[in-house]
Amino acid sequence: MMLGRSAERATIDELLAGARAGRSGALVLSGDPGIGKTTLLEYAVGQAKDMQVLMTRGYETESEIPFAGLSDLLRPALPLLPSLPRSQSAALQSALALGPPLAGDRFSVCAATAAILAAAAERSPTVVVVDDLQWLDAASREALVFAGHRMQADGIALLLASRVSDDGDSPDLRLRELRLNGLSRGEADALYEDLIPSAPDEVRARLYDASAGNPYFGGLSVNSNTTNVLVRTDSSAIPTTTVPFTWTTSDELVVTGTYEAA
């Protein structure tokens, strides 16, 4: 469920429209875990059904493997390798373990990445989507950011999503950034109405204040055996505290539970 984010969706729509018209652009979605970055990426993919979509994401377990993310991203575009200059094609094939190993040439790999994305866009306007950029291996990130700085009239929309640091700082990529904040109280209330319609305003207010409008904390599950309501979180990713609450449902069942929030 996507609530609100009308301004953010309009920005993404503008980026996609530019690519369809032959103009390239890049946008970095940044924010806390669970704030809605992935949901907006999914929105972009859904709006790009008439475009070629190249996707990858960072995995913490693969963040030290050079070019792991780029390999996933470029797999659909690999048939275009012969169209690149021979040196660039050889460098990219070496980086992706598709050809004989070559001595490290970072510039050739970066240039080849930009070139193969441009070649893909010659066939169809192209959307490049990268989630969890903070975990993408450094070599892939370098190549994609290099390409992002050099896209002009190629018809490419580069859309990246990254968590902010523990200090709240955004990644310094020298690309246009859109920082995501929590939902408004009205938007959060609409979420609570769908998930916990019997909860009184006091409970909803406490949930909103504890989560600062982060929709990640809106996933509720009700355990009918213990009559507990628990907001699911990934405690490994976000430190949590517990906020207790109680309310009586329409059938007079007293429901107690805990809300785990950052």
Least confident range from 44-53, 116-125, 181-190, 228-237: namely 228-237
pLDDT at res. 248: 40
pLDDT at res. 208: 79
Residue 125: inside a domain: yes
- Residue 255 clears pLDDT 80, i.e. is over it: no
Residue 1: inside a domain: no
Question: How confident is the model over 231-242, as a mean pLDDT?
Answer: 39
Contact in structure between 127 and 157 (CB atoms under 8 Å): yes
Give the model confidence (pLDDT) of 190-235 as tens digits.
877 777 777 778 777 777 777 778 877 654 332 223 333 444 334 3
Whether 165 and 62 share a structural domain = yes
pLDDT at res. 203: 74
- Residue 116 clears pLDDT 80, i.e. is over it: yes
pLDDT at res. 192: 76
Whether 143 and 85 share a structural domain = yes
Among residues 171, 196, 216, the alpha carbon closest in space to that of 34 is found at 216
Q: What is the domain count for the chain?
A: 2
CA 171-46-142 angle, to 5 degrees, is: 25
pLDDT at res. 1: 57
Q: Where are the extended beta strands (E) located within the chain? A: 25-31, 52-57, 126-131, 156-163, 177-179, 220-223, 228-231, 241-248, 254-261
Residue 118: inside a domain: yes
pLDDT at res. 157: 98
Residue 256: inside a domain: yes
Domain termination site, one of 179, 206, 226: 179
Whether 63 and 159 share a structural domain = yes
What's the whole-number average pLDDT of the chain? 82
| pLDDT over 90, % of the chain | 58
- Residue 120 clears pLDDT 90, i.e. is over it: yes
Whether 106 and 206 share a structural domain = no
Domain termination site, one of 151, 179, 207: 179
**Residue 261 three-state SS:** strand
Whether 122 and 10 share a structural domain = yes
Give the model confidence (pLDDT) of 4-26 as tens digits.
788 999 999 999 999 999 999 99
Whether 40 and 83 share a structural domain = yes
Give the model confidence (pLDDT) of 58-104 as tens digits.
999 999 999 999 999 999 999 999 999 999 999 999 999 999 988 87
pLDDT at res. 72: 97
Residue 215: inside a domain: yes
Domain termination site, one of 121, 145, 179: 179
Whether 193 and 174 share a structural domain = no
Whether 229 and 109 share a structural domain = no
Please report, for the domain that includes residue 63, its CATH number. 3.40.50.300
Report which secondary-structure segment, H or E, holds 206.
helix 201-211
Range of the domain at 249: 185-261
- Residue 110 clears pLDDT 90, i.e. is over it: yes
Whether 172 and 242 share a structural domain = no
Half-sphere exposure of 68 (CA within 13 A, CB side): 15
